[in-house]
Amino acid sequence: MKPIRLPEPPGGSPMGVPDIFEGGVYGGVRRAVVIGNGFPASENQSIGLVRALGLEQKQTLFRVTRPRGGVNNWLLWLPVSLHKKLDYIIRQIYGCSRILLSGRGNKIDSLPSVNGGNMGLSSVLEADVKEIVAMAHETFEKDGPLLVVASGRDTISVASAIKRLASENVFVVQIQHPRTQLHRFDMVITPHHDYYPLTPRAREQVPRFLRSWITPREPPDRNVVLTVGALHQVDSAALRTAASAWHDEFAPLPKPLLVVNIGGPTSHCRYGVDLAKQLAASLHNVLVSCGSVRISFSRRTPEKISSIISKELGDHPKIYIWDGEEPNPHMGHLAWADAFVITPDSVSMVSEACSTGKPVYVIGAERCTWKFVEFHKSLRERGLVRPFTGLEDMSESWSYPPLNDTAEGANRVREALAHRGWRLKL
């Protein structure tokens, strides 16, 4: 009797291998769930990873939301579940107070709406663990495993619960360090500087009796993928699309085009009007070597900073300051800029600029503390950024291999899926 030979995988399929050779009928990952927290910088990382995996047309966004307004703004440090329970108690007490006070003829103002209902968030699904777990179980045979991607502190409990309750049907990626119990996730993708607390320099900064409270406490495990910066949606395809979309506005501008992105001070990057004045003076110095300058503020930019920049630079014929009205020119700036000047407070803002391979100058990095020091040091050592001094000749360009964290993170996800006998089915 002749031995039975299995058929060779055909070469005509997109991946070259049919389902039977891909870890079984149920081994194809065809869709993704994104667990967001309502903050664009965090959600952009998850959506960027899903996009790099080719699943952007097959993703569903769920959002973990907190009560907002009034006393709730002082309770954001609490775990989400505890915050919501406390909010419920406050509302019950408040409801009783309304009844008593209204009986005395007092006018009562409404308590602010919950969960972003007045912020346009009602169209986004609330992240319900039971609902997502049921979907993973019930659709597994038809649609295969579910990729779950979450980012931000408020999403940790939801993502880990999904992993615990549907471990055979999901692959859970947590972006940004969850601080403890990393085994709750299939993969953690986080910047290298999140491990700054383990360095000798960091330990010198923390009193011995407080060190046990600082996380992370252990070096990265095998399921941790370290990046230089933040994940995002900016890649060569996105830049080509933006270059075409913004062609009519940016192509006629005199070159070189300098784009200035201004964020806002944070707890680890403190600055104020002094840095704004320094930036304005330095920009005045380089205007002679610039063809055009475009300035953008973020939603975190304090008015006292934006007003100084507008007052000092707004009337110059080479300078245009975006007024914040839609459409947002951010992608057009990334595509058409010849160089960038950026404040040091936003890892995402700097990471996106460094993904273009164009000159990136950072102003105020010396004002940063803790892990932000490590982040900016890493960028300088890799040749991705330089300090902005106001002595630069913007007509002289320099380049570097573009920062490619998102694509590298996507490759690690593919490898981990393959280890489980799964693969992406696009």
Q: Are the C-beta atoms of 10 and 403 separated by less than 8 Å? A: no
Helix (H) or strand (E) holding 363: none
Report, as an integer, the average pLDDT of 347-368: 98
Asked if the model's pLDDT at residue 114 lies above 70, the reply is: no
Asked if the model's pLDDT at residue 107 lies above 80, the reply is: no
**341/261 Cα distance (integer angstroms):** 6
Report the pLDDT value the prediction gives residue 78, as an integer from 0 to 100: 80
Cis ω before 10 (30° cut-off from 0)? no
Report the pLDDT value the prediction gives residue 239, as an integer from 0 to 100: 98
Q: Are the C-beta atoms of 372 and 11 separated by less than 8 Å? A: no
The CATH topology of domain 236-402 is: Rossmann fold (3.40.50)
Could you tell me the residue ranges of all domains in the chain? 28-66+124-228+407-424, 236-402
- Comparing C-alpha atoms, which of 232, 251, 260, 242 is closest to residue 355? 232
Report the pLDDT value the prediction gives residue 120, as an integer from 0 to 100: 36
- Write out pLDDT tens, residues 321-355: 999 999 999 999 999 999 999 999 999 999 999 99
- Strands, DSSP E only, in 89-235? 125-126, 146-151, 170-175, 187-191, 224-227
Report the pLDDT value the prediction gives residue 85, as an integer from 0 to 100: 80
Band (12; pLDDT cuts 50, 70, 90): very low
Kindly state the tokens that stand for 79.
């775990």
Report the pLDDT value the prediction gives residue 15, as an integer from 0 to 100: 46
More confident residue, 89 or 3: 89
Report, as an integer, the average pLDDT of 294-303: 97
Q: Kindly report the average pLDDT of the chain as a whole number.
A: 89
Asked if the model's pLDDT at residue 309 lies above 70, the reply is: yes
Report, as an integer, the average pLDDT of 406-426: 97
Report, as an integer, the average pLDDT of 390-399: 97
Band (103; pLDDT cuts 50, 70, 90): low
More confident residue, 177 or 75: 177
Asked if the model's pLDDT at residue 147 lies above 60, the reply is: yes
Half-sphere exposure of 92 (CA within 13 A, CB side): 6
Report, as an integer, the average pLDDT of 85-114: 58
Asked if the model's pLDDT at residue 13 lies above 70, the reply is: no
Q: pTM for the whole thing?
A: 0.87
Band (123; pLDDT cuts 50, 70, 90): low
Report, as an integer, the average pLDDT of 290-294: 98
Report the pLDDT value the prediction gives residue 1, as an integer from 0 to 100: 41
**101/106 Cα distance (integer angstroms):** 6
Report, as an integer, the average pLDDT of 287-295: 98
Point out the least confidently predicted range of 19-33, 75-89, 178-192, 197-211: 19-33
Point out the least confidently predicted range of 40-49, 81-90, 204-213, 347-356: 81-90
- Write out pLDDT tens, residues 268-288: 999 999 999 999 999 999 999
- Write out pLDDT tens, residues 220-249: 999 999 999 999 999 999 999 999 999 999
- Write out pLDDT tens, residues 14-72: 444 444 444 455 689 999 999 999 999 999 999 999 999 999 999 999 999 888 777 77
Task: Write down the CATH number for the domain with range 28-66+124-228+407-424.
Answer: 3.40.50
Residues 198, 199, 200, 206, CA torsion sign = negative
